[in-house]
Chain A
Amino acid sequence: MSAISVNQLCKSYDGRQAVNELSFEVQKGETFALLGPNGAGKTTTIEILEGYRKADSGHVSVLGLNPETETAELKRRTGLVLQTTALEPELTISETITAFARLYRNPRDIKAVLIDVNLAHLQGNRVGILSGGQKRRLEIALGIIGDPELVFLDEPTTGLDPEARRKIWTLIQRLNSNGCTIVLSSHYMDEVQALASHMAIMVDGQIAAEGRPLDLQRQHCTHATIQFDADGNLPDGFPDKLSAATTVHNGHAELVVEDPIPALSMLTSWAETSGHDLSSISVTRQSLEDIYLQLVSQRQAKPHGDTP
């Protein structure tokens, strides 16, 4: 069953098309990641789903509700972590979360949630003196205190150090394993790979690619890179077929091919006959990040956008 369905969604600001005929579905229990460069329309899309903004046209359904008209019910059943931190610095952690808990009908246990986000030992501290990662974890606690079915996380780890980011990932994974549907926006590929079961790459208000992270990698992977040690120029007797695709620099030969298997076979037989040492050989496929960057630059190169 789908938790979210978006159909032909359009939204523009002052003549700039932020979201352009966007369609996608999020299944219940999924962690869905919306990935894209700044200005791709991720936040606009999420804020329409959250009920903050009205769509210009198209159809949106969140937990079977219309976010424009059934806002009260939507807000009871969803939790939010907005892109920018919004906390009262004068309050303590426990005052902050208590104030949010009383806004929901069946809130989760405050103590349990604080333990979940690893802030229980700091609950008497003022919010103003917390680190960026601690503030973000508190905001996640506020997002889940109402025991929501669906949580929106808009760039939850932007600007945090690697350790703080890992802590938040663990938290999100645990939340999802408890059955909560998660919609995440991010511009970090590693984050999406670590968390998402379903992702969409958004560029210029449209989806450039969508699917499971591994499937996307498989589909869009166009070449592999083979590397091995080689001094100076290409060694004598190097297979002619491969030399055009091979470059040598800094004692390193690099060979870019569509299909690595025949190339590897040629390389190994050449090495056996010539006695060249291939023990340093490595084969790498394009990473999801490479594919993402490739998709973004392809899309942005197309002269279709009304973006300046």
Chain B
Amino acid sequence: MMLVQEAIHQLRLFTRRPAAVFFVVAMPLVLLIVLTQLFGNEKIQGLGLNTAQFYTPALAVFGVVMACFTYLAVSTATARDLGILKRIRGTPMPPWVYICARIIAVSVIAFISLLLVIATGALAFGVEIIWERVPAAAVVAVTGALCFASLGMMVTALFRSSETVQAASSAAIMPLAFVSDIFVRPSTETSEWVPLIGNLFPLRHFSIAFQRAFDYAYEGNGFALPDADGIVYSILPHMGVMALWGIGAAIIAARFFRWEARAI
């Protein structure tokens, strides 16, 4: 009960922060509209998908990451700077309830952002939703949300002030989004090392696994997808990489997290 109430409290705080609402909810939508207009909603060479069919799941993932990673990290670090985390520790609320409530709140925000992007893609740009793959897409989204929430808490734990947390989270996400099939469509002209670098980090695995649910070049239910040649493509390795990063980050976060801002 306390957990639900605190999560609602955190959601209310989010709605009072216009800059956060813009970056998490509006920016993926704006990017979807701009990129689709920029490239034209035509079949992408070598991919067999329309521009919007590619960008809709990619930017839905981006919205999830903005909520679960960037917003969680920056808002938690800001609350720590303001002494709010310390004050909370002086109340009977168990610390785990507070942290879980924050993670639940950003997951709800992520889900809303994701639905908005997909609904816009479907209604405005004719993106096809493959209904039998919705369960697979949901599993990928939840795994990705938890993985990036865990990474967000790690960044908050490793950096001291909200300014450095803001800088570190942007510095991590922006370049990665370019090598993780989110901002840039994969093309035959891309150097081979780009996906190799992307594959080291969880973002590309999140975006690829989620995009498969929208990729009509494949058959299947979204968990295992045989292609036209009958080669079965599974999302399991992607899930595995996300789980590894998530668990690793959670361990580091638990080890180094501090409730008090360090005195300057």
- Chain A residues engaging chain B, CB cutoff 8 angstroms: 50-52, 72, 75-76, 80, 82, 84-88, 90-91, 95, 99-100, 102-105, 142, 146
* Residue B84, interface by CB 8 Å: yes
| 16 further contact pairs, Cβ within 8 A, besides A52-B260, A91-B12, A95-B12 | A50-B90, A52-B86, A52-B89, A75-B90, A80-B87, A82-B83, A82-B90, A86-B82, A87-B82, A87-B84, A88-B13, A88-B82, A91-B16, A103-B2, A104-B92, A146-B91
Whole-angstrom distance between the alpha carbons of A85 and B84 in the complex? 9
Q: CB distance B5 to A102 under 8 Å?
A: yes
Closest to B93 in A: A103
Contacts of B94 in A (CB 8 A): 72
Q: Once the chains bind, are B93 and A82 in contact (CB under 8 Å)?
A: no
A142 to B93, CA, bound (A): 14
| For the complex of A and B, 3 pairs with smallest distance between CB atoms | A86-B83, A90-B16, A86-B87
Complex interface bits, B44-83 against A, C-beta within 8 A gives 1, otherwise 0: 0000000000000000000000000000000000010011
A86 and B93 form a contact (CB under 8 A) = no
B9 on the A face (CB < 8 A):
yes
Asked if B17 is an interface residue, CB under 8 A from chain A, the answer is: yes
Q: Are B13 and A84 in contact (CB under 8 A)?
A: no
Q: Report A-chain residues with C-beta under 8 Å of the C-beta of B12.
A: 91, 95
Query: Cβ of B260: which chain A residues have Cβ within 8 Å of it?
Result: 52
Contacts of B16 in A (CB 8 A): 90-91
| Contact A103 B83, CB 8 Å, known A88-B13, A91-B13 | no
Chain A contacts for B79, CB-based, 8 A: 88
Interface string of B82-107 (1 = CB under 8 A from A): 11101101111110000000000000
Please give, as numbers and ranges, the residues of chain B lying within 8 Å of A85 by CB-CB distance: 83
5 contacts between A and B (CB under 8 A): A82-B83, A102-B2, A103-B91, A142-B87, A146-B91
Tell me the smallest distance from the CB of A44 to a CB of chain B, in Å.
12
Collect the chain A residues with CB atoms within 8 Å of residue B9's CB: 99
B5 touches A82 (CB 8 A): no
Please give me the residue from chain B that is nearest to A142 by CB atom: B87
B91 and A75 contacting across the interface, CB-CB below 8 Å: yes
B contact residues around A75 at 8 Å (CB):
90-92
From B94, which residue of chain A is reached at the shortest CB distance? A72
Cα distance A86–B88 in the bound complex, in angstroms:
9
Contacting residues, chain A, for B17 (C-beta < 8 A)? 90
| Distance from B11 Cβ to chain A, minimum over Cβ atoms (Å) | 12
Given contacts A91-B13, A102-B2, A102-B5, contact A86 B84 (CB under 8 A): yes
Q: Are A76 and B13 in contact (CB under 8 A)?
A: no
- Whether A52 pairs with B83 at a CB distance below 8 angstroms is no
Task: With both chains docked as a complex, state the minimum distance between the C-beta of B130 and any C-beta of chain A, in angstroms.
Answer: 40
Cβ of A105: which chain B residues have Cβ within 8 Å of it?
92
Write the chain B residue with the least CB distance to A72.
B92
Residue of B nearest to A152 (CB): B90
B92, A82: Cβ atoms under 8 Å? no
Q: Chain B contacts of A95 at CB under 8 A? A: 12
**Structural contact, B86 and A82, CB atoms closer than 8 A:** yes
How distant is the Cα of A87 from the Cα of B83 in the complex, in angstroms? 8
Q: Which residue of B lies closest to A105 (CB)?
A: B92
Cα distance A219–B12 in the bound complex, in angstroms: 56
Cβ-defined contact, B83 with A146, below 8 A: no
List the B side residues contacting A87 at CB < 8 Å.
82, 84
| A82, A88, A146 interface centre (most CB from chain B within 10 Å) | A88
Tell me if A86 and B91 are in contact (CB < 8 A): no
Instruction: Say how far A301's CB is from chain B's closest CB, in angstroms.
Output: 28
Decide: B90 and A84 in contact? CB cutoff 8 A.
no
Taking the closest CB of chain A, its distance from the CB of B225, in whole angstroms, is: 44
In angstroms, Cα B90 to Cα A248, docked, is 57
Residues of A near B84 (CB, < 8 A) are 86-88
Chain A's nearest CB lies how many Å from the CB of B16?
Answer: 4
Centre residue among A72, A86, A90 by max chain B CB count within 10 A: A86
**C-alpha gap A281/B207 in the complex (Å):** 88
- Output the least CB separation between B172 and chain A (Å): 26
Q: Check A76 against B90 for contact (C-beta < 8 Å).
A: no
Cβ of B90: which chain A residues have Cβ within 8 Å of it? 50-52, 75, 80, 82
CA distance A140 to B121 in the complex (A): 50
Contact B13 A103 (CB under 8 A): no
* Distance between Cα atoms of A72 and B94 in the complex (Å): 8
Task: Report how far A90 CA is from B90 CA in the complex, Å.
Answer: 21
Given A82-B86, A84-B83, A103-B2, does the pair A90, B92 have CB atoms closer than 8 Å? no
Report the bound CA distance from A216 to B54 in whole Å: 79
Residues of A within 8 A of B93 (CB): 103
What separation, in Å, do the CA atoms of A236 and B19 have in the docked complex? Answer: 81
Q: What A residues does B83 contact at CB under 8 A? A: 82, 84-86
Which one of B9, B86, B91, B94 has the greatest number of beta carbons of chain A within 10 Å? B91
